[in-house]
Amino acid sequence: MDEISPEQVKAQDEEDIIKILLAQIEQTPSKIDEAWLADMCQQISDADSLDAFWKAVVASGESYGAGYTRKVKSGTVMSRNPLYYVFEAREFIYSTDPQEKKLLGSSRGLLDMAIAKSWEASRKEIQERLAKEQRMKLEDIDVPAEMGHLDDEVRTTYFKEYLRLYSVLIELADKHGEDSRQYVDKQIRLHEAAVVDRHLRMMETMSDARERYSGNTNSAKPAIVQITRWSNAVNERLLSLGKVYIDAALAEKVYRGRMEDYADLGFKALAMVYQRSQSGEALRAMREVNRIQRYNLWQMARVAWKEAKAMAAAGRIAEADDGFLLAKHNYLKCLSRLESSKKPVVFGEYRRLQADITEWVTSRKLKSVAAATDG
């Protein structure tokens, strides 16, 4: 048989890994619903938790705004445009010499203040409308606390700049040899908020479109464009979230369980992106997840095998049986994630495990026969 060239091996491995990833993706949900969000998002997963998130941001922005107003020179007119405060925050985020203190203080405060200003502006509009409708003075109109909304452009910009802020903080922490995990967790939370926010907006737009265009001849194109925009935004945020989880898994050096959790969540996010858009970028990112998962499976298989042999030597039959079974299960899962060229080493270990299992089963049968004979 002719020897296979390195190029052929590489081509076969490429074909193998695509099949492996696609087979795994086929096992995952193909659409986002409440159950999927609850499983995927650990902190913000539904309308209630998103609402609580925005309320906290508004409160933070109002608090920062009060201090900001006191510092403004007398006679200065403050901008009523929420995006003005985003632009101010950008000066700290995109500085050539970013400072952690300013990012955690002024920059975060200004971004929250932009959201608070957007909420305030919407409530002002509601107050003016109600005053006109009810023919009352503006100061006599009391707008209920729950009434108000946030401008879509302000929300989109808020997510974009806040995520960039945390990226800079992570870069600074890594540069100075500090633990960046606290910022990673906050970054994940913000991604979750963005995913849920964009998804809910998409679902609202779809519901409105069905109601508005059902039974008439008006063009639904504007709604379709908006729905596509929201859908793309969800995919973009999920793709970024998946990559954040991959980086977190690779950075985790102490707790294998945490690494597994990060890798699994990263795969869920990326698989959903691929299900929704057949994204090549998502598929490429999943290669790294697959490498993490199969390495962990391999290590867990070896640990389980070692422990099973120890239990067998100690005569702890049930625990030895469980250990051998777990080792076999993990080896098979690992092999299912390996390209052809990478299987021989792991398969060799698996065969030795099978031999140990056969020896263990045989020894138990012999002891059982001997015991029966002696009886």
Using one digit for the tens of pLDDT, what is the confidence trace for 239-269? 999 999 999 999 887 778 888 999 999 999 9
pLDDT at 1 over 60: no
pLDDT of 182 above 80: yes
No. of H helices and E strands in the chain?
13, 0
Query: In angstroms, how far apart are the furthest CA atoms of the chain?
Result: 104
- pLDDT greater than 50 at residue 288: yes
- Euclidean distance between the first and final Cα of the chain, in Å? 58
Structure pTM? 0.86
Given a contact cutoff of 8 angstroms between Cβ atoms, the answer to whether 143 and 127 are in contact is: yes
Mean predicted lDDT score pLDDT of the chain: 90
Residue 89 has pLDDT above 70, yes or no: yes
According to DSSP, residue 217 is labeled -
Distance CA 275, CA 180 (A): 31
Give the count of beta carbons closer than 10 Å to the beta carbon of residue 305: 23
Q: How far apart are CA 119 and CA 352, in angstroms?
A: 66
> How far is 234 from 230, CA to CA, in rounded Å?
6
- pLDDT at residue 224, rounded to an integer: 87
Q: What is the pLDDT of residues 311-352, one digit of tens each?
A: 999 999 999 999 999 999 999 999 999 999 999 999 999 999
Residue 96 Cα distances to 89, 90, 91, 99, 168, angstroms = 14, 12, 9, 10, 11
**Per-residue pLDDT at 326:** 96
Q: How far apart are the C-alpha atoms of 349 and 60, rounded to whole Å?
A: 57
Residue that wins the pLDDT comparison between 205 and 50:
50
The backbone torsions φ and ψ at residue 72, rounded to the nearest 5 degrees and listed phi first, read -70, 140
Nearest to 44 by CA among 152, 145, 207, 186: 186
Rg, Å, the chain Cα set: 28
Cα torsion angle, 240, 245, 246, 247, sign = positive
